[in-house]
Amino acid sequence: MAITLPPLPYADTALEPSISATTLQTHHGKHHKAYVDKTNAAVQDTDLVDASLEQIIAAAQDKGDKGLFNNAAQSWNHAFYWNSLAPSASAPSGDLAAAIDSAFGSLDALKEDLAAQGAAHFASGWVWLVAKAGALAVEQTHDAATFATDDAKPLLVIDLWEHAYYLDHKNLRPEYLKAVIEQHLNWDFAAENLAREGNWTYPA
Ligand code: MN
């Protein structure tokens, strides 16, 4: 049972002009697909051939297999990222809104934290909204590092790799972050993640 490349949850034009169809086609159809293909190639003929992506990530971490970890974790992170975005932003409500107010003071303060940490992050990585130890927090991870198998529960993520924004915003990562944070964060997905028992799992 191979790891699949889930389709984008919206049309490739749905995030324009913040993220162009060209960026989404390459980012999903080339980058994400390559991570999935390399993960499948690496586990072929091993005892991980029928494992879930989360099991593969955990096994790669345990074994210190950096190559497998990078491809498996990037497969997971990208699927989580597609779901973290939406054609238009909803508004947090209920338990999520209360948790945001409790941790950050306001939704605007959370957005500022995401934008600031995303802009300040050095080189490639991800900026996350996570729930850990009963409170929300903004966290950064480098390269392929992930919250997929962490005790902290990821709610949303934004890709900070240059391939996520360079075609549309050149070197202006803060411009990409502002557009995504103001217009395209999927707060309904964040609320579902906050409410679920464990962490989000990659589609089989
Ligand atoms: Mn990416």
Full set of structural domains in the chain with CATH? 21-84 (1.10.287.990), 94-195 (3.55.40.20)
CA 149 to CA 158: how far, in whole Å? Answer: 18
Predicted TM-score of the model (pTM):
0.97
What is the model's pLDDT at position 174?
Answer: 97
Ligand 1 centroid to 27 CA: how many Å? Answer: 6
Ligand 1 centroid to 161 CA: how many Å? Answer: 6
Ligand 1 centroid to 105 CA: how many Å? Answer: 30
Residue ranges with CB less than 5 Å from ion ligand 1:
159, 161
**Is the CB of residue 104 less than 8 Å from the CB of residue 130?**
no
Ligand 1 centroid to 140 CA: how many Å? Answer: 14
Ligand 1 centroid to 94 CA: how many Å? Answer: 31
pLDDT of the chain, 204 residues: tens digit per residue = 799 999 999 999 999 999 999 999 999 999 999 999 999 999 999 999 999 999 999 999 999 999 999 999 999 999 999 999 999 988 999 999 999 999 999 999 999 999 999 999 999 999 999 999 889 999 999 999 999 999 999 999 999 999 999 999 999 999 999 999 999 999 999 999 999 999 999 998
Ligand 1 centroid to 98 CA: how many Å? Answer: 31
- Say which residues have a Cβ less than 8 Å from residue 102's Cβ, sequence separation at least 6: 135, 136
Ligand 1 centroid to 162 CA: how many Å? Answer: 8
What is the model's pLDDT at position 59?
Answer: 98
CA 160 to CA 191: how far, in whole Å? Answer: 22
**130: β partners:** 137, 154
Ligand 1 centroid to 102 CA: how many Å? Answer: 31
What is the model's pLDDT at position 134?
Answer: 84
Q: Whose CA is closest to 164, among 24, 30, 38, 33? A: 24
3-class state of residue 34 by DSSP: helix
Ligand 1 centroid to 142 CA: how many Å? Answer: 12
Ligand 1 centroid to 155 CA: how many Å? Answer: 17
What is the model's pLDDT at position 97?
Answer: 98
Ligand 1 centroid to 143 CA: how many Å? Answer: 10
